[in-house]
């Protein structure tokens, strides 16, 4: 019972928060479209958050703008074009593939390819080189003993 009450309270708490922070359109289908699009758009004030996550005043304004535009029958791509025309590609969480963003898109793949090649090269060279048999020569053993403070030539007690 206590658990049920707690769950109920939690449910109301989240409702209260949702009502305060973002006005939800009466139409759940529209709201789903707004949320989906808002997840692709960057909040320009808190730059590492999406519009969907952010509660900054500008993010809420922009989300309302998105909702109004979708409600008035504009398509998702029209809304995105509208925002890009005003805020630039930065507003997109998924930047478009073009000359200025090429390094952004292929950079990681390039690094991965280089690393794989280097790794391959390293492995090949490792197998080609004569295997280390684990033994050291007498001179090196004497030096090691001397460094360790053992007396060379004497047997351990």
Which one of 31-39, 40-48, 72-80, 141-149 is the stretch in contact with other proteins (CB under 8 A)? 40-48
Least separation in angstroms between residue 47's CB and other proteins is 6
Question: With respect to other proteins, which residue has the nearer C-beta, 13 or 61?
Answer: 61
* Distance between CA atoms of residues 40 and 63, nearest Å: 12
Which one of 15-23, 32-40, 60-68, 149-157 is the stretch in contact with other proteins (CB under 8 A)? 60-68
Per CB under 8 A, 65 contacts other proteins: yes
Q: How many residues bind other proteins (CB under 8 A)?
A: 15
Per CB under 8 A, 148 contacts other proteins: no
* Distance between CA atoms of residues 80 and 87, nearest Å: 10
Residues at the interface with other proteins (CB under 8 A): 44-45, 47, 57-58, 61-62, 65, 84-88, 90, 129
């Amino acid at each position: 019972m206590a658990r049920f009450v707690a769950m109920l309270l939690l449910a109301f708490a989240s409702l209260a928060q949702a009502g305060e922070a973002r006005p939800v359109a009466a139409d759940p289908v529209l709201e789903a479209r707004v949320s989906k699009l808002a997840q692709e758009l960057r909040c320009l004030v808190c730059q590492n958050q999406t519009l969907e996550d952010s509660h900054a005043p500008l993010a809420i304004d922009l989300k309302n703008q998105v909702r109004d535009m979708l409600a008035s029958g504009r398509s998702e791509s029209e809304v995105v074009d509208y925002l890009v025309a005003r805020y630039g590609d930065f507003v997109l969480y998924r930047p478009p593939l073009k000359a200025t963003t090429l390094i952004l898109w292929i950079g990681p793949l390039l690094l991965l390819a280089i690393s794989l090649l280097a790794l391959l090269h390293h492995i090949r060279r490792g197998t080609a080189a004569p295997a280390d048999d684990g033994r050291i020569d007498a001179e090196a053993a004497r030096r090691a003993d001397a460094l360790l403070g053992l007396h060379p030539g004497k047997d351990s007690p």
